Amino acid sequence: MGQPEQQQAVPGIQSEMTPMPDCGEESYVGTGQLTGKIAVITGADSGIGRAVAIAYAREGADVVISYLSEDSDAAEVERYVVDAGRRAVLIKGDIADAQHCRDVIATAVDQLGGIDILVSNAAYQMTRTSLADIPDDEWDRTFDTNVRAMFHLCKAAVPHMKSGSSIIGSSSVNSDMPSPTLAPYAATKAAIANFCASLAQLLGEQGIRVNSVAPGPIWTPLIPSTMPPEKVANFGSDTPLGRAGQPAELAPVYVLLASDAGSYISGARVAVTGGRPIL
């Protein structure tokens, strides 16, 4: 058993999880791979987004921390970014709203001077055991948060990006190994992977690279806030590595895809799944 049974209300608070996810707070050491770049990261208060924000700051990037409502978690990430000697901008609000997406990008441009990296990471899911149990508004919320937001973020960001910029979408192993109890979420993750592949071809002439990362089961606040306690306790145990991954184990991939070291990587979907294959 990887973690004790536990439950939280959506969207979940990282500081209330047992054990706390490892987002690289004590372990990630930067080497200057993103020096001088400006990054926008959605869902940056916790989980994968938090790990990416910490890593990016320690690699030399200024960071826009976009989050829904988790003020205490977001403030901790802001402190880590500032402690790394970089500028941090907190933006609270719901990316399911198209205007808020545009405002996030406008804030990055106005307060930090531009945007070089967009990480569309924030997501919503909920466990349902039958199609009849999925409320219509929950289906819409899942797509609005996971897919529609990425469209509006990218549309607003691209005019401010230059050659060498990078867009990264957080897909999932569910994109082609869909969990039956996460049907709306799995469908959005397939859409993200597909959208990134299209954008990579559409934006290649501008020198803008687009990729997606496909995590497997990762220990984040999304898990205790959207799954029943018994599933939380066994989360990740069915992977070949026998455990859930930690957000810190995703950060190096997001760094590579944003850095000049990944200058010829575009249109890729990188699996970080603990051994589960993706097609």
Cβ proximity of 122 and 66 under 8 Å: yes
Asked if 95 contacts 120 with a C-beta cutoff of 8 angstroms, the reply is: no
Looking at 56, 185, 254, 264, which residue is catalytic?
A: 185
Reply yes or no on whether 264 is catalytic. no
- Phi, psi torsion values for 274, nearest 5 degrees: 70, 20
CA distance 124 to 145: 6
What is the strand order of the sheet 166-170 is part of?
88-92, 62-67, 38-42, 117-120, 166-170, 209-215, 269-272
CB 212 within 8 A of CB 170: yes
Query: Is 120:153 a contact under the CB 8 Å cutoff?
Result: yes
Q: Is the peptide bond before 19 cis (omega within 30 degrees of 0)?
A: yes
Select from 59, 181, 201, 207 the least CA-distant residue to 127.
181
Would you give the distance in Å from CA 215 to the centre of its chain?
10
Q: Is 26 exposed, middle or buried (0-12, 13-18, 19+ CB in 10 A)?
A: exposed
What number of other Cβ atoms are within 10 A of residue 205's Cβ? 8
The catalytic residues are 185
